[in-house]
A and B are shown apart, each in its own frame.
Chain A
Amino acid sequence: MPGPFAYFVWFVGLLCEAAVVVCALKKHAFRRYLLLNLYMTTAVVSELGRFKILAEYGFSSRQYQYFYYYSDAILTIFLYFALSTLYAHVFSEMNAERYVKMGTLLLLTGTALFTYAVVEQSTAKLVTHFVVELSQNLYFVGLVLTYVLWAAILKLRETRTRLIQLVLSLGVYFSLFAANYAIRNLYPPLSSVFVPLVQVFGLFLPLAWAYAFWRLPEDARLVPARLAVIPR
């Protein structure tokens, strides 16, 4: 069973996810960033579902394990689509929305096929293995896509502060998770340290997004070249 600290982090995470939606609604940004907010709403529902199943069946039950990994995969796919809407925002002036949608679907299908090809060898619990692997691979694909988007922001001299912070915080979040999964694959004995960290890392994105929606007005602007690690 999770300890008091894990329950505390879980509860704070739930509050922060709800706070994102509330902040976006209050600042009239819900519709503008619809998929990001729908992702957070789904995350809240998923957390509540996890808690209910944990209370009913217990932490080590198969029901909880299945619900956890399947809901995590669905959330990752949702976040991946949310990222594609950030692309649409950055490329809005180029009318590239159709190409972004097509690219997103193609890359998702490609990642799913690659994952299937990798897990096909393991005969036991193929679907569950596929779901877990797909989630991990999507974190890395998401990270690379966010990096490309950040490069596009610098190149196109995008100045919308809120959009920039949403993209950068998503990049930090994806990198934390991708690094976490990579360490766990490289050094399985360290899993006992890095598995609980997933919950703590999970707090970053809702906190950063709540801050971006609450503190930054849509018309706030900054010079993105000043943010680059290597001055441009």
Chain B
Amino acid sequence: MMAAIILVCSVVFLLQFFVSYCRSLIAASIKHALSAEVQDVTGIKSSASGEDFARVVQLLQLCPDRPEDRSGVQAIGAYFGLLGFVRSTIARLIPTLRAWTERERGQCTYFAAVTLERRIAFSRDMFAQQLES
């Protein structure tokens, strides 16, 4: 009985913490303006769409990653999957929820584009350091 209560509480808390954590990652990156170069590569001008997420993640995978960025990208990937699940189930019945999931999915794409920009800058720095040495 005790273990069942702990399990239920843990899963509910986990969902709350996870969603809030992902939204804090997104909120921290949303103020970052994308460079013209990344805007061209990703096709994101002012607002991003959830439909572009997979494509931006593919671009991300082409760049060398940094361990401290990995958790953010994976967490947002899982959050995007969770949003996709909500969108294709409960959100079909509730229009406001559908609009919210669309907005959130777009912000996930924007987060991925900001990470892409950081990775490109990191790769450039590494390349410049190699040239210097």
Contacts and interface: CB of A to CB of B under 8 A. Distances in A.
Interface of A is mostly: helix
B3 A222 contact: no
A52 to B, nearest CB: 24
A44 to B, nearest CB: 14
Centre residue among A150, A168, A169 by max chain B CB count within 10 A: A168
Interface stretch (B46-54, B67-75, B87-95): B67-75
A204 B11 CA distance: 16
Interface stretch (B20-28, B33-41, B124-132): B20-28
Contacts of B27: 161, 222-223, 226-227
A15 B67 contact: yes
Given A207-B70, A216-B28, A222-B28, A165 B21 contact: yes
Interface residues of A, number: 44
A140 B18 CA distance: 17
A211 B24 contact: no
Q: How large, as a class, is the contact surface on chain B?
A: 20 to 34
B43 to A, nearest CB: 25
A23 B4 contact: no
A43 interface: no
Interface stretch (A91-99, A119-127, A182-190): A182-190
Contact of A207 (B4, B28, B71): B71
B112 to A, nearest CB: 15
A168 B21 contact: yes
Contact of A208 (B6, B10, B23, B71): B71
Contacts of B71: 203-204, 207-208, 210-211
A215 B67 CA distance: 12
Contacts of A29: none
Contacts of A227: 20, 23-24, 27
A175 B28 contact: no
A179 interface: yes
B28 A150 contact: no
A171 B17 contact: yes
A25 to B, nearest CB: 14
Contacts of B25: 165
Interface in A149-170: 150, 161, 164-165, 168-169
B99 interface: no
Centre residue among A146, A178, A182 by max chain B CB count within 10 A: A182
B19 interface: yes
Contact of A175 (B17, B23, B24): B17
Contact of B14 (A164, A179, A214): A179
Centre residue among B4, B21, B69 by max chain A CB count within 10 A: B21
30 contacts: A19-B68, A140-B9, A147-B13, A150-B17, A150-B20, A161-B24, A161-B27, A165-B24, A168-B17, A169-B21, A171-B13, A171-B16, A171-B17, A172-B18, A174-B13, A175-B11, A175-B18, A178-B9, A179-B10, A179-B14, A182-B3, A183-B7, A186-B4, A204-B71, A207-B67, A207-B68, A211-B72, A213-B68, A214-B68, A229-B19
Interface of B: 3-4, 6-7, 9-11, 13-21, 23-25, 27-28, 67-72, 75
